[in-house]
Structure 1
Amino acid sequence: MECGSPWGHSPKRRSQERRWGTPDKEDWGHSVQNPCTEEILEEQMKLECKCHGVSGSCTTKTCWNTLPKFRDIGFILKEKYNDAVHVEVVRANRLRQPTFLKIKKIKNYQKPMETDLVYIERSPNYCEEDSATGSVGTQGRLCNRTSPHVDGCDLMCCGRGYNTHQYTKVWQCNCKFHWCCFVKCNTCSERTEVFTCK
Protein backbone atom coordinates (compact mmCIF):
# COMPACT_ATOMS: atom_id res chain seq x y z
CA MET A 1 0.00 0.00 0.00
CA GLU A 2 1.13 3.53 -0.72
CA CYS A 3 -0.37 6.77 0.53
CA GLY A 4 0.11 10.32 -0.72
CA SER A 5 1.36 9.60 -4.24
CA PRO A 6 0.85 11.64 -7.40
CA TRP A 7 -0.14 9.86 -10.60
CA GLY A 8 1.11 9.81 -14.18
CA HIS A 9 -1.47 9.32 -16.92
CA SER A 10 0.26 10.64 -20.03
CA PRO A 11 3.81 11.45 -21.26
CA LYS A 12 3.02 15.18 -21.08
CA ARG A 13 2.67 14.97 -17.32
CA ARG A 14 5.66 12.75 -16.64
CA SER A 15 7.93 15.66 -15.79
CA GLN A 16 5.45 16.76 -13.13
CA GLU A 17 4.89 13.36 -11.54
CA ARG A 18 6.78 11.53 -8.86
CA ARG A 19 9.30 8.96 -9.99
CA TRP A 20 8.57 5.44 -8.76
CA GLY A 21 11.87 3.80 -9.77
CA THR A 22 13.50 2.86 -13.04
CA PRO A 23 14.02 -0.47 -14.86
CA ASP A 24 17.80 -0.29 -14.52
CA LYS A 25 17.66 -0.04 -10.73
CA GLU A 26 16.51 -2.46 -8.06
CA ASP A 27 12.84 -3.36 -7.75
CA TRP A 28 10.99 -0.04 -7.60
CA GLY A 29 8.55 -1.33 -5.00
CA HIS A 30 11.26 -1.40 -2.33
CA SER A 31 12.21 2.23 -2.90
CA VAL A 32 8.73 3.62 -2.21
CA GLN A 33 8.23 5.01 1.27
CA ASN A 34 4.85 4.80 2.99
CA PRO A 35 4.13 8.13 4.73
CA CYS A 36 0.43 7.39 5.24
CA THR A 37 0.62 6.59 8.95
CA GLU A 38 2.84 9.59 9.63
CA GLU A 39 0.41 11.87 7.77
CA ILE A 40 -2.54 10.60 9.80
CA LEU A 41 -0.62 10.97 13.05
CA GLU A 42 0.25 14.55 12.18
CA GLU A 43 -3.36 15.37 11.25
CA GLN A 44 -4.79 13.80 14.40
CA MET A 45 -2.37 15.34 16.90
CA LYS A 46 -4.01 17.70 19.36
CA LEU A 47 -2.63 20.66 21.28
CA GLU A 48 -3.15 20.49 25.04
CA CYS A 49 -2.32 23.28 27.45
CA LYS A 50 -2.05 23.69 31.21
CA CYS A 51 -2.11 26.93 33.14
CA HIS A 52 0.24 27.77 36.00
CA GLY A 53 -0.28 30.56 38.49
CA VAL A 54 -1.38 31.58 41.96
CA SER A 55 -5.01 30.86 42.94
CA GLY A 56 -5.89 29.43 39.56
CA SER A 57 -4.58 32.33 37.51
CA CYS A 58 -3.00 31.61 34.16
CA THR A 59 0.17 33.65 34.34
CA THR A 60 2.11 30.92 32.56
CA LYS A 61 0.82 28.40 30.08
CA THR A 62 2.54 25.21 29.03
CA CYS A 63 1.38 23.53 25.82
CA TRP A 64 2.32 20.29 24.12
CA ASN A 65 1.18 18.06 21.26
CA THR A 66 -0.50 14.78 22.18
CA LEU A 67 -0.67 11.70 20.00
CA PRO A 68 -4.08 10.22 19.15
CA LYS A 69 -5.14 6.86 20.51
CA PHE A 70 -3.71 3.89 18.64
CA ARG A 71 -7.22 2.45 18.13
CA ASP A 72 -8.38 5.70 16.47
CA ILE A 73 -5.46 5.54 14.03
CA GLY A 74 -6.31 1.92 13.33
CA PHE A 75 -9.90 2.78 12.44
CA ILE A 76 -8.78 5.51 10.03
CA LEU A 77 -6.27 3.20 8.33
CA LYS A 78 -8.88 0.43 8.09
CA GLU A 79 -11.26 2.81 6.29
CA LYS A 80 -8.50 3.79 3.87
CA TYR A 81 -7.65 0.11 3.35
CA ASN A 82 -11.27 -0.68 2.48
CA ASP A 83 -11.36 2.20 -0.05
CA ALA A 84 -7.92 1.55 -1.57
CA VAL A 85 -7.51 1.96 -5.34
CA HIS A 86 -6.15 -0.81 -7.57
CA VAL A 87 -3.29 0.30 -9.85
CA GLU A 88 -0.96 -1.44 -12.31
CA VAL A 89 2.67 -0.95 -13.22
CA VAL A 90 3.44 0.82 -16.50
CA ARG A 91 7.07 0.32 -17.45
CA ALA A 92 8.72 2.71 -19.86
CA ASN A 93 10.00 1.51 -23.23
CA ARG A 94 13.21 3.46 -22.99
CA LEU A 95 15.87 2.63 -20.43
CA ARG A 96 16.12 6.05 -18.81
CA GLN A 97 12.44 6.81 -18.61
CA PRO A 98 10.85 6.25 -15.18
CA THR A 99 8.26 3.65 -14.31
CA PHE A 100 4.78 4.87 -13.40
CA LEU A 101 1.61 3.46 -11.95
CA LYS A 102 -1.65 3.63 -13.85
CA ILE A 103 -5.07 3.33 -12.27
CA LYS A 104 -7.11 0.34 -13.35
CA LYS A 105 -10.15 2.11 -14.77
CA ILE A 106 -13.45 0.83 -13.55
CA LYS A 107 -16.99 2.15 -13.44
CA ASN A 108 -17.28 5.51 -11.67
CA TYR A 109 -13.56 6.06 -12.27
CA GLN A 110 -12.08 8.80 -10.14
CA LYS A 111 -8.47 9.82 -9.70
CA PRO A 112 -7.35 9.00 -6.14
CA MET A 113 -6.38 11.82 -3.81
CA GLU A 114 -2.92 12.09 -2.35
CA THR A 115 -4.26 10.77 0.96
CA ASP A 116 -5.77 7.61 -0.59
CA LEU A 117 -4.16 4.20 -0.36
CA VAL A 118 -3.31 2.32 -3.56
CA TYR A 119 -2.26 -1.28 -4.16
CA ILE A 120 -0.75 -3.35 -6.97
CA GLU A 121 -1.57 -6.89 -5.87
CA ARG A 122 -4.77 -7.93 -4.15
CA SER A 123 -4.51 -9.04 -0.54
CA PRO A 124 -4.63 -12.77 0.17
CA ASN A 125 -7.88 -14.28 1.40
CA TYR A 126 -7.45 -14.14 5.15
CA CYS A 127 -10.70 -16.06 5.64
CA GLU A 128 -9.10 -19.31 4.42
CA GLU A 129 -5.95 -21.05 5.59
CA ASP A 130 -2.98 -20.32 3.33
CA SER A 131 0.46 -21.62 4.33
CA ALA A 132 2.12 -19.56 1.58
CA THR A 133 1.06 -16.28 3.18
CA GLY A 134 1.02 -17.50 6.77
CA SER A 135 -2.73 -17.00 7.12
CA VAL A 136 -4.37 -19.47 9.50
CA GLY A 137 -7.88 -18.56 8.38
CA THR A 138 -10.84 -18.03 10.68
CA GLN A 139 -12.27 -21.55 10.87
CA GLY A 140 -12.75 -22.50 14.53
CA ARG A 141 -12.23 -18.95 15.78
CA LEU A 142 -14.40 -17.76 18.65
CA CYS A 143 -16.84 -15.05 17.62
CA ASN A 144 -19.50 -12.84 19.18
CA ARG A 145 -22.94 -13.58 17.78
CA THR A 146 -24.37 -10.14 18.66
CA SER A 147 -21.41 -7.91 17.77
CA PRO A 148 -21.52 -5.81 14.56
CA HIS A 149 -17.74 -5.32 14.69
CA VAL A 150 -14.83 -7.45 13.47
CA ASP A 151 -15.22 -9.84 16.40
CA GLY A 152 -18.80 -10.56 15.33
CA CYS A 153 -19.68 -13.88 13.73
CA ASP A 154 -20.92 -12.22 10.52
CA LEU A 155 -17.55 -10.65 9.75
CA MET A 156 -15.19 -13.06 11.52
CA CYS A 157 -16.66 -16.11 9.79
CA CYS A 158 -16.63 -14.48 6.33
CA GLY A 159 -20.22 -15.43 5.63
CA ARG A 160 -19.69 -19.17 6.26
CA GLY A 161 -21.87 -19.21 9.36
CA TYR A 162 -20.98 -20.37 12.87
CA ASN A 163 -21.40 -23.32 15.21
CA THR A 164 -23.07 -23.05 18.61
CA HIS A 165 -21.54 -24.96 21.51
CA GLN A 166 -23.32 -25.34 24.84
CA TYR A 167 -21.53 -26.26 28.04
CA THR A 168 -21.94 -25.94 31.79
CA LYS A 169 -19.59 -23.52 33.51
CA VAL A 170 -18.80 -24.53 37.11
CA TRP A 171 -17.06 -22.40 39.74
CA GLN A 172 -16.82 -21.90 43.50
CA CYS A 173 -19.07 -19.13 44.84
CA ASN A 174 -20.45 -17.60 48.06
CA CYS A 175 -17.26 -18.40 49.89
CA LYS A 176 -17.18 -17.74 53.66
CA PHE A 177 -14.44 -17.87 56.24
CA HIS A 178 -15.21 -19.96 59.34
CA TRP A 179 -13.38 -19.69 62.64
CA CYS A 180 -11.09 -21.40 62.88
CA CYS A 181 -9.80 -21.80 60.22
CA PHE A 182 -11.26 -22.82 56.91
CA VAL A 183 -13.14 -21.41 53.96
CA LYS A 184 -16.37 -23.02 52.85
CA CYS A 185 -17.78 -22.39 49.36
CA ASN A 186 -20.80 -23.38 47.39
CA THR A 187 -20.59 -24.78 43.91
CA CYS A 188 -22.31 -22.64 41.31
CA SER A 189 -23.02 -23.58 37.72
CA GLU A 190 -24.35 -21.86 34.67
CA ARG A 191 -25.41 -23.10 31.27
CA THR A 192 -23.70 -20.99 28.62
CA GLU A 193 -22.99 -20.87 24.89
CA VAL A 194 -19.94 -20.12 22.79
CA PHE A 195 -19.80 -19.61 19.03
CA THR A 196 -17.08 -20.67 16.60
CA CYS A 197 -16.71 -20.06 12.89
CA LYS A 198 -17.50 -22.87 10.47
Structure 2
Amino acid sequence: MKPSRTTCRWSASVTGSRGRARCARAGGPCPPSAAWATFLKEKFDGATEVKAESRGARTVLVPLNPQFKPHTEQDLVYMASSPDFCEADPKLGSLGTHGRVCNKTSKAIDGCDLLCCGRGYLTRKVKVVERCKCKFHWCCVVKCKQCERVLDEHVCV
Protein backbone atom coordinates (compact mmCIF):
# COMPACT_ATOMS: atom_id res chain seq x y z
CA MET A 1 0.00 0.00 0.00
CA LYS A 2 1.55 3.27 -1.10
CA PRO A 3 -0.04 6.50 0.17
CA SER A 4 -0.30 9.26 -2.40
CA ARG A 5 0.55 12.85 -1.51
CA THR A 6 -1.97 14.34 -3.89
CA THR A 7 -4.85 11.90 -3.89
CA CYS A 8 -6.94 10.62 -1.05
CA ARG A 9 -9.62 8.08 -1.82
CA TRP A 10 -12.44 7.23 0.52
CA SER A 11 -14.63 4.23 0.11
CA ALA A 12 -17.37 2.99 2.34
CA SER A 13 -18.41 -0.60 2.59
CA VAL A 14 -22.11 -0.89 3.20
CA THR A 15 -22.42 -4.60 2.57
CA GLY A 16 -24.86 -6.00 5.06
CA SER A 17 -25.72 -2.61 6.55
CA ARG A 18 -29.22 -1.23 6.62
CA GLY A 19 -29.99 2.14 5.04
CA ARG A 20 -31.54 3.53 8.22
CA ALA A 21 -30.06 6.68 9.67
CA ARG A 22 -30.77 8.77 12.71
CA CYS A 23 -31.89 12.14 11.45
CA ALA A 24 -31.77 15.35 13.46
CA ARG A 25 -34.65 16.70 11.39
CA ALA A 26 -38.12 16.33 12.88
CA GLY A 27 -40.74 14.59 10.76
CA GLY A 28 -40.26 12.68 7.55
CA PRO A 29 -37.49 10.38 6.45
CA CYS A 30 -33.86 11.40 6.35
CA PRO A 31 -32.58 12.50 2.92
CA PRO A 32 -30.02 10.07 1.44
CA SER A 33 -27.19 12.59 1.77
CA ALA A 34 -27.85 12.94 5.51
CA ALA A 35 -27.98 9.16 5.90
CA TRP A 36 -24.58 8.80 4.20
CA ALA A 37 -23.13 11.68 6.17
CA THR A 38 -24.27 10.08 9.44
CA PHE A 39 -22.94 6.69 8.37
CA LEU A 40 -19.50 8.05 7.39
CA LYS A 41 -19.25 10.27 10.49
CA GLU A 42 -19.89 7.24 12.72
CA LYS A 43 -17.24 5.26 10.83
CA PHE A 44 -14.79 8.17 11.07
CA ASP A 45 -15.36 8.59 14.82
CA GLY A 46 -14.65 4.90 15.38
CA ALA A 47 -11.70 4.62 12.98
CA THR A 48 -8.61 2.71 14.12
CA GLU A 49 -4.98 3.52 13.29
CA VAL A 50 -3.28 0.44 11.87
CA LYS A 51 0.17 -0.66 10.73
CA ALA A 52 1.14 -3.21 8.10
CA GLU A 53 2.80 -6.39 9.36
CA SER A 54 4.22 -9.26 7.36
CA ARG A 55 2.86 -12.65 8.33
CA GLY A 56 4.52 -15.20 6.13
CA ALA A 57 3.75 -14.34 2.52
CA ARG A 58 0.86 -12.05 3.52
CA THR A 59 0.76 -8.48 4.72
CA VAL A 60 -1.97 -7.75 7.24
CA LEU A 61 -3.18 -4.59 8.95
CA VAL A 62 -3.08 -4.71 12.74
CA PRO A 63 -4.12 -2.01 15.24
CA LEU A 64 -1.24 0.27 16.21
CA ASN A 65 -2.50 0.14 19.79
CA PRO A 66 -2.60 -3.52 20.88
CA GLN A 67 -5.42 -2.75 23.35
CA PHE A 68 -7.82 -2.18 20.45
CA LYS A 69 -9.74 -5.08 19.01
CA PRO A 70 -8.90 -6.16 15.44
CA HIS A 71 -10.92 -4.34 12.81
CA THR A 72 -13.55 -5.95 10.62
CA GLU A 73 -14.16 -5.40 6.91
CA GLN A 74 -16.87 -2.88 7.82
CA ASP A 75 -14.55 -0.71 9.96
CA LEU A 76 -12.71 2.38 8.77
CA VAL A 77 -8.95 2.24 9.32
CA TYR A 78 -6.07 4.61 8.61
CA MET A 79 -2.29 4.26 8.44
CA ALA A 80 -1.20 7.86 8.96
CA SER A 81 -2.68 10.58 11.12
CA SER A 82 -4.06 13.67 9.43
CA PRO A 83 -1.60 16.56 9.17
CA ASP A 84 -1.96 19.53 11.51
CA PHE A 85 -3.92 21.99 9.38
CA CYS A 86 -3.56 24.69 12.06
CA GLU A 87 0.06 25.37 11.08
CA ALA A 88 1.35 26.13 7.59
CA ASP A 89 3.02 23.22 5.79
CA PRO A 90 4.23 24.16 2.28
CA LYS A 91 5.10 20.52 1.47
CA LEU A 92 1.45 19.56 1.91
CA GLY A 93 0.10 22.79 0.44
CA SER A 94 -1.52 23.72 3.76
CA LEU A 95 -1.59 27.44 4.49
CA GLY A 96 -2.53 27.04 8.15
CA THR A 97 -5.15 29.19 9.83
CA HIS A 98 -3.07 32.20 10.92
CA GLY A 99 -4.74 35.34 9.54
CA ARG A 100 -7.95 33.53 8.54
CA VAL A 101 -11.25 35.36 9.05
CA CYS A 102 -13.47 33.51 11.51
CA ASN A 103 -17.02 33.77 12.83
CA LYS A 104 -17.03 34.70 16.53
CA THR A 105 -20.52 33.30 17.20
CA SER A 106 -20.34 30.07 15.19
CA LYS A 107 -19.79 26.65 16.79
CA ALA A 108 -19.15 25.14 13.34
CA ILE A 109 -15.86 24.79 11.42
CA ASP A 110 -15.83 28.55 10.61
CA GLY A 111 -16.06 29.47 14.31
CA CYS A 112 -13.10 31.22 15.90
CA ASP A 113 -12.76 28.62 18.68
CA LEU A 114 -12.29 25.76 16.23
CA LEU A 115 -10.69 27.48 13.23
CA CYS A 116 -8.07 29.33 15.30
CA CYS A 117 -6.94 26.07 16.96
CA GLY A 118 -7.10 27.56 20.46
CA ARG A 119 -4.63 30.37 19.64
CA GLY A 120 -7.28 33.07 19.91
CA TYR A 121 -8.28 35.80 17.49
CA LEU A 122 -8.08 39.54 17.02
CA THR A 123 -11.04 41.78 16.31
CA ARG A 124 -10.55 44.66 13.92
CA LYS A 125 -12.84 47.24 12.39
CA VAL A 126 -13.25 47.09 8.62
CA LYS A 127 -15.04 49.52 6.36
CA VAL A 128 -17.25 48.01 3.67
CA VAL A 129 -19.02 49.79 0.84
CA GLU A 130 -22.44 48.40 -0.04
CA ARG A 131 -25.31 49.27 -2.33
CA CYS A 132 -28.14 50.86 -0.34
CA LYS A 133 -31.27 52.98 -0.64
CA CYS A 134 -32.09 51.29 -3.92
CA LYS A 135 -35.08 52.53 -5.90
CA PHE A 136 -36.87 51.03 -8.83
CA HIS A 137 -37.51 53.49 -11.67
CA TRP A 138 -40.13 52.70 -14.28
CA CYS A 139 -39.34 50.77 -16.42
CA CYS A 140 -36.64 48.36 -15.55
CA VAL A 141 -33.93 50.40 -13.88
CA VAL A 142 -32.77 50.10 -10.27
CA LYS A 143 -30.63 52.93 -8.93
CA CYS A 144 -28.72 52.64 -5.67
CA LYS A 145 -26.47 54.76 -3.54
CA GLN A 146 -23.15 53.60 -2.10
CA CYS A 147 -23.14 53.39 1.69
CA GLU A 148 -20.24 52.72 4.03
CA ARG A 149 -20.59 50.50 7.08
CA VAL A 150 -18.04 49.63 9.74
CA LEU A 151 -18.05 45.97 10.76
CA ASP A 152 -16.15 43.87 13.27
CA GLU A 153 -13.95 41.27 11.57
CA HIS A 154 -12.37 38.48 13.59
CA VAL A 155 -9.01 37.06 12.46
CA CYS A 156 -7.08 34.08 13.82
CA VAL A 157 -3.81 34.92 15.61
TM range (shorter): 0.5 to 0.7
If asked which structure has higher relative contact order (CA below 8 Å, sep 6+), I would say: 1
Gaps of 5+ in 1: 1-26, 47-66
The answer to whether 1:116 aligns with 2:75 is yes
Q: Distance in 1 between matches of 2:18 and 2:2?
A: 28
Q: Distance in 1 between matches of 2:59 and 2:85?
A: 31
Q: Which residues in structure 2 correspond to 1:139-154 (within 5 Å)?
A: 139-154=98-113
TM-score, normalization by structure 2: 0.67
Q: Distance in 2 between matches of 1:146 and 1:168?
A: 20
2:114 maps to which of 139, 152, 155? 155
- Correspondence for 1:129: 88
Q: Distance in 1 between matches of 2:98 and 2:36?
A: 28
Counting aligned pairs with the same residue, the percent is 38
Structure showing greater Rg: 1
Cα deviation, residue 168, structure 1: 3.0
4+ residue stretches of structure 1 with deviation over 4 A?
Answer: 27-30, 42-46, 182-187
RMSD value, Cα: 3.5
- Correspondence for 1:3: none
Q: Distance in 2 between matches of 1:39 and 1:158?
A: 34
Report how many residues are paired. Answer: 141
Residue aligned with 2:133, SS: strand
- Correspondence for 1:86: 49
Please say if residues 161 and 197 of structure 1, whose CA atoms lie closer than 8 Å, have aligned partners that are also in contact. Answer: yes
- Correspondence for 1:167: 126
- Correspondence for 1:39: 14
Q: Distance in 2 between matches of 1:28 and 1:175?
A: 59
Residue aligned with 1:190, SS: strand
Cα deviation, residue 142, structure 1: 1.7
With 110-119 and 73-82 compared, the bigger mean Cα shift is at 73-82
Q: Which residues in structure 2 correspond to 1:18-57 (within 5 Å)?
A: 27=1, 35-36=11-12, 39=14, 44=19
Gaps of 5+ in 2: 22-30
Please say if residues 45 and 68 of structure 1, whose CA atoms lie closer than 8 Å, have aligned partners that are also in contact. Answer: no
